[in-house]
Amino acid sequence: MRIIKLDEISKKNILNDLLKRSPNNYGQYADAVNEIVYKVRDEGDEALFAYTAKFDKAQIHEGNVKVTDEEIQEAYELLENKELVNIIRKAIGNIREYHEKQRQYSWFDSKPDGSILGQKISPLSSTGVYVPGGKAAYPSSVLMNIIPAKVAGVERIVMTTPPGADGKVNPTTLVAAHEAGVDEIYKVGGAQAIAALAYGTKSIPKVDKIVGPGNIYVALAKRAVFGFVSIDSIAGPSEILVIADEGANPRYVAADLLSQAEHDELASAILVTTSQELAQRVSAQVDQFVDKLSRKSILEKSLENYGYILVVDTLEEAIQTANEIASEHLEIMTKDPFAVMTKIKNAGAIFLGEYSSEPLGDYFAGPNHVLPTNGTAKFFSPLSVDDFIKKSSIISYSREALAPIQEDIRKFAQAEQLTAHANSIQVRFES
């Protein structure tokens, strides 16, 4: 990995390079995505199934688009690693326990004058969960998107995922979804699946919110339907930043950097360290690991494009750099990681200490692994129960409570030249 002595110029260049990975910069795909989205909106199932045949080579129709109970049972039988079911169940327990602590409750505040103010919490009625397909299966993403919706109390949770050419869905994906408690599963993917969830077709009723990761077409489709439905975010490529001092284990640091670099060629892996010696040892260790790992070509491209080892003079400078980059995953391997953590303002998930590696959060610990990317940790949060609820304000005033302030309200309305507003208050105090 390249080693850079960090200064303001190099920092600015790196930040600019990282931002180029955002889906917002891939406008050349927007027209194609919009065409798919609007065609499904206008033509429904006919367009949905035609695109599935074109892109996934699968003959899906109204009679087989919905996954049946028999197909789910078959998925359990086809699962190559039978032990995975128990592992999934353990992970579900951890994820559910963590998210149950995020629950919010309605509240009401009454006063002696007869006024009542409050907030009513209601779960969304329906949510669509998109799950990527293809050769890879991501049961962890299935769990991370479905479980917080279940904890929130969403009535109808729908999952869509692209089928194989044989019209089947990856059995691991089906098992994870069933264990997590999904209500319906449909065999469609890509931008066409997002459009179906957003607008509804004869086969797939519309939902109120769409969550879940996907490729650039899925990301741009989510952006296109936002406003008609809610979405979680426009997710960018994965990223990790490690803050480490001279006491960090270079083998651990190198392994963790590669754990994200292997996702794809746009993934970012950055070490910020106060030790030139550690920088050199991590770089050497990365080279050794890359030669042995199965996704070598992806790792090499990812590190070449967005892999950096940044050497800084002080730990404070390392913290400042981490806050400016606002990484999706932030690992802190320093003498006192908790002290460093208190100074971190911007990060999706923070991992403290040398035994808290990023894959622990991806699969098992409990916090959600759907995290803000591309610097959006400066203003976005991880997926949570909050994403699957909505809040209604409650206002109740008696005549006695309204009387002392009615003139103030009328004057406020008149200042905005909204006389009907003022009249709405005035009529309640006519003699």
Map tokens 């991370």 to a residue.
Answer: 144
366: left (phi over 0), alpha (psi -120 to 50) or beta: left
What is the Cα–Cα distance from 407 to 274, expressed in whole angstroms? 63
Bridge partners of 157, per DSSP, are 127
Q: Are 319 and 283 in contact (CB under 8 A)?
A: no
Alpha helices by DSSP H, listed for 157-246, are 171-180, 190-199, 216-225
Q: Of all helices (H) and strands (E), which one includes residue 185?
A: strand 184-186
Residue with tokens 């909505």: 390
Angle (CA) 265 212 358, round 5°: 55
Q: Which residues contact 81 (CB under 8 A, 6 or more apart)?
A: none
Separation between Cα atoms, residue 203 and residue 352, nearest integer Å: 46
Amino acid at residue number 62: E
SS3 341: helix
With vertex at residue 271, the alpha carbon angle to CA 305 and CA 14, rounded to the nearest 5 degrees, is: 45
Q: Of 185, 218, 220, which is closest to residue 203 (Cα–Cα)?
A: 185
Q: What positions carry a catalytic annotation?
A: 328-329
CB 232 within 8 A of CB 370: yes
Burial of 422 (0-12, 13-18, 19+ CB in 10 A): buried
